[in-house]
Amino acid sequence: MDIIKRESKMPYYHQLYNLILNMIEEGNLKENDKLPSERELCQRYNLSRYTVRQAIKELEDKGYVHIIHGKGTYVSGHKLRQDLLKFYSFTEEMKKIGKVPSSKVLNFEIINSTEMVARKMGISVMEEVYAFTRLRLADDEPMMLETTYLPLSRFDSLTKEQLEQKAMYDIFTDEYEVEFTKAEESFLPVLIREAEAYILNCSIRIPGMKIERTTYEEKNIIEYTKSIARGDKFEYKVILEK
């Protein structure tokens, strides 16, 4: 059995963190498996409860486990690895890893664009746009919160029901014959705020990723989306080639 090395200069909590992480990476603890209780870990490794809590907190902060209050600590699912050099959709990426994607439209309205939205979309202030927020899920687990703006002039008959039943990019191509030419994205690490954590069903301690996407059809911007992705569910990858 793995043990805590008392003679090591590495702090006890970090040794326990490594022991549990190794069990996860080697498959001895699998996705959604429940970790032993704090009391069991204390007894097994002869550690204080404070030390065990430090190790669990570090595992949670890194996204390896999540705590369900009143039930225990569970191994988190594998992160979605997203290649940033490819045009992608959330729906298609979830299908590739064997998960069932879905969306909940939390609000849907037509508004007059603010100065910020007009600047992001290259349109006039007060021009009408769709504004809607969607909770993106995989196997019914919240993954990302997205707020999207679309020009009303390009998508003049879009409905909330369409977005609930079909992937947005499929609507674009199938019903509006959109031809995507370019998408630009920016990424910023953030701390997930309390209101976002409530909707995403995650701890406010985990890191998040703020993503802004601008999608083009020729020279026209047809989508501006700002998202908050759970840092424990996504991993972004860039390949640099000479």
Q: Are residues 128 and 65 in the same domain?
A: no
Q: Are residues 185 and 66 in the same domain?
A: no
**pLDDT reported for residue 242:** 53
Q: Are residues 64 and 87 in the same domain?
A: no
Q: Are residues 70 and 84 in the same domain?
A: no
Q: Are residues 123 and 138 in the same domain?
A: yes
**What own/partner pairs with CB < 8 Å and gap ≥ 24 does 160-165 have?**
160/105, 160/108, 160/132, 163/103, 163/105, 163/108, 163/132, 163/134, 164/103, 164/104, 164/105
Domain that holds residue 31: 12-75
**pLDDT reported for residue 116:** 93
Q: Between these two residues, 239 and 163, which has the higher pLDDT value? A: 163
Q: Are residues 131 and 60 in the same domain?
A: no
Q: Are residues 131 and 222 in the same domain?
A: yes
| Domain-terminating residue out of 60, 75, 90 | 75
Q: Are residues 105 and 151 in the same domain?
A: yes
Average pLDDT, the chain: 86
Task: Dump pLDDT digits (tens) for 2-25.
Answer: 788 888 888 899 889 989 988 888
**pLDDT reported for residue 1:** 46
| Domain-terminating residue out of 59, 75, 91 | 75
Task: Dump pLDDT digits (tens) for 104-163.
Answer: 999 999 999 999 999 999 999 999 999 999 999 988 889 899 999 999 999 999 999 999
